[in-house]
Chains A and B, each alone.
Chain A
Amino acid sequence: MRKPDQAECLYLDFDGFFASCEQLAHPGLRGKPVGVVPYAGGTGTCVIACSAEAKRRGVSSVMSVREALRVCPDLILQPQSPDLYRRAHNALLAEIAMVLPIEAVKSIDELTCRLDPVQQQNPRAVGEAIKARLFKLVGPWIKCSLGYAGNRQLAKMACKAGKPDGNMLWHPADMPGPLLGLRLKDVPGIGKNVLRRLWDARIVEMNDLLKAQPKQLRALWGNVTGERMWYALHGYDVRVPPSERGMYGHSRVMAPDQRTLSAVKPMSRLLLVKAARRMRRDGWSASRLFLWLGLWDGSWGTSLYLPALCDDPGILQGLDQLWTQAEAELPSRAVIARMGVTLGELSKSSQRQMDLLTRDEPLRQRLEGMTHCIDDLNRRYGRTVVSIGPWSPPPGGNAGGKISYTRIPSAEDFY
């Protein structure tokens, strides 16, 4: 494995991205403490992002709305706008790509680039150029932090260490100096469980972690990630192979007045159709359908075999079967706080093995043709104009279009 002797990687992270986008789009919010919340009017929810002004007043992300209003009474609660964040993401990436090519987009507000040998001589100048461009063409409301190091993991940590509005260089020659002041939980990839295992192995400080052996970390993690972490922290250019697509799904926390079986069922139907659309768009078929219901006291879940389907009627028929089972097994007054539907055991639609015993090839071809026509119509009109059965989006919208760490929605997810 190669150990770079120059800062080859750049990592960029936008500061308070969601709140900054809201301030950019709504001039009335600029310079004020803003907290982005999942939906309007809810006090039982939490702040999913906050502006720099709110952070200065003690508000933090994932703080409950009640607590946030207690520490900052004049906090402005702004409902999330996933489509705005998605459009801002695309526009900002286009501007950054004018300064240097983007190597990978890690999340809606994080990306990484590789510096060429000339840029490696003065990495901070690249960051200054990006910041100057964003300031000139987008405005002062969207700020970013940049980190440079020999690999992506260290560049991300440098970026985090320099926040907010940072431009932090961790040159390979200076390592591991900057790491020694950090806590273990500050390392991306060390969560609660791993931290407990590290403590059990008497690894409590960064110095202990750096002195450990690669195979020891592999054993503590229980997989190859531990070994990769060792090499990354020691400055090696670790490349994590991209993970394979395993499933398509959606989940949703139900609104307090919609936690009955009869209210959750249509929502699961809508989310499953959205997941199936995404799956078809990427050319996959599913051989298993999962339904999961988060009850007030526990959970209920089951799955069903599908003969490598990608058409809506076949998938929805499977969902009906799962709901028949759920209605038979759950009490009629069950309180369902959360629900999820997932299409799994994927195979490429062009290479799938058809079920020999069901012998439904002509029917499947007809239904798939019809589903593709429906997709084309919806895509052409930019909204759901045709659907199999009723189509009733939930109050508040954004079903299937939320921003997650692993997925940036496309415009089609909001149809």
Chain B
Amino acid sequence: MSWKSETRLSDMDPTARMEITCRRCGLTRYETQAALIRRPALRFATLEQVEASLTCADRWCHGRVRLSLVYDDLNEPFVGGMA
């Protein structure tokens, strides 16, 4: 049990960005929920199943990938040193 098995792709925000990194060659690409949910096989999938169904985008690699969520939109710097 982890966040990947507890989260469904359909529960996420359409603009949510996911970072997909190849475990073999390290190639990283980004996908949004809106782009992935268009695939019929992923419509009701958990993120664990999404991760298992994706492969590296490099045409010579096609290795297994690691999926992670990106939280860039939540970044909020310290202003005047205050939290």
Residue positions of A touching B, CB distance < 8 A: 11, 87, 90-91, 93-95, 97-98, 102-107, 110-112, 137, 152-153, 155-156, 188-191, 221, 223, 225, 228-229, 232, 238, 240-243, 379-383, 405-408, 410-412
Nearest-neighbour CB distance to chain A for B77, whole angstroms, equals: 4
Task: Tell me whether A405 and B68 are in contact (CB under 8 A).
Answer: no
Please list the 10 inter-chain residue pairs (A to B) with the smallest Cβ-Cβ separation, ordered nearest first: A189-B81, A225-B80, A382-B27, A104-B76, A411-B28, A156-B83, A94-B3, A152-B83, A90-B68, A406-B77
Task: Tell me whether B80 and A228 are in contact (CB under 8 A).
Answer: yes
Whether A382 touches B28, Cβ cut-off 8 Å, given contacts A90-B19, A189-B82, A410-B72, is yes
Chain B residues with Cβ below 8 Å from A241 are 79
Task: Tell me whether A90 and B74 are in contact (CB under 8 A).
Answer: no
Residue of B with least CB distance to A94 = B3
Chain A residues with Cβ below 8 Å from B77 are 106, 242-243, 405-406
Select which of A102, A137, A188 is within 8 A of B82 by beta carbon.
A188
Q: Given known contacts A112-B83, A188-B83, A225-B79, what 13 new A-B pairs fall within 8 Å (CB)?
A: A97-B3, A102-B71, A111-B74, A225-B80, A225-B81, A232-B82, A241-B79, A379-B30, A380-B57, A382-B28, A406-B78, A410-B70, A411-B28
Task: Tell me whether A380 and B29 are in contact (CB under 8 A).
Answer: yes
What's the Cα separation between A57 and B70 when bound, in Å?
A: 36
Task: Tell me whether B29 and A382 are in contact (CB under 8 A).
Answer: yes
What's the Cα separation between A95 and B47 when bound, in Å?
A: 13
Chain B residues with Cβ below 8 Å from A412 are 28
| Any A CB within 8 A of the CB of B15 | no
Residue of A with least CB distance to B3 = A94
Interface bin, chain B: 20 to 34
What's the Cα separation between A232 and B80 when bound, in Å?
A: 13
Task: Tell me whether A189 and B3 are in contact (CB under 8 A).
Answer: no
Chain B residues with Cβ below 8 Å from A229 are 80, 82
Task: Tell me whether B75 and A408 are in contact (CB under 8 A).
Answer: yes
Task: Tell me whether A87 and B26 are in contact (CB under 8 A).
Answer: no
Whether A98 touches B21, Cβ cut-off 8 Å, given contacts A156-B83, A243-B77, A380-B29, is no
Task: Tell me whether B82 and A228 are in contact (CB under 8 A).
Answer: yes
Residue positions of B touching A, CB distance < 8 A: 1-4, 6-7, 19, 21-22, 26-30, 57-58, 68-72, 74-83
Chain B residues with Cβ below 8 Å from A97 are 3, 69
Nearest-neighbour CB distance to chain B for A132, whole angstroms, equals: 12
What's the Cα separation between A383 and B79 when bound, in Å?
A: 34
Select which of B3, B27, B76 is within 8 A of A242 by beta carbon.
B76
Nearest-neighbour CB distance to chain B for A255, whole angstroms, equals: 25
- Can you name 5 A-B pairs with beta carbons within 8 Å? A98-B3, A106-B77, A137-B1, A379-B29, A382-B28
Task: Tell me whether B78 and A90 are in contact (CB under 8 A).
Answer: no
Task: Tell me whether B81 and A104 are in contact (CB under 8 A).
Answer: no
Task: Tell me whether B74 and A105 are in contact (CB under 8 A).
Answer: yes
Highest count of chain A CB atoms <10 Å: which of B26, B58, B78: B78
Chain B residues with Cβ below 8 Å from A188 are 78, 81-83
Task: Tell me whether B76 and A105 are in contact (CB under 8 A).
Answer: yes
Task: Tell me whether A95 and B83 are in contact (CB under 8 A).
Answer: no
Nearest-neighbour CB distance to chain B for A54, whole angstroms, equals: 26
Chain A residues with Cβ below 8 Å from B7 are 98
What's the Cα separation between A411 and B70 when bound, in Å?
A: 10
Chain A residues with Cβ below 8 Å from B6 are 98
What's the Cα separation between A410 and B75 when bound, in Å?
A: 12
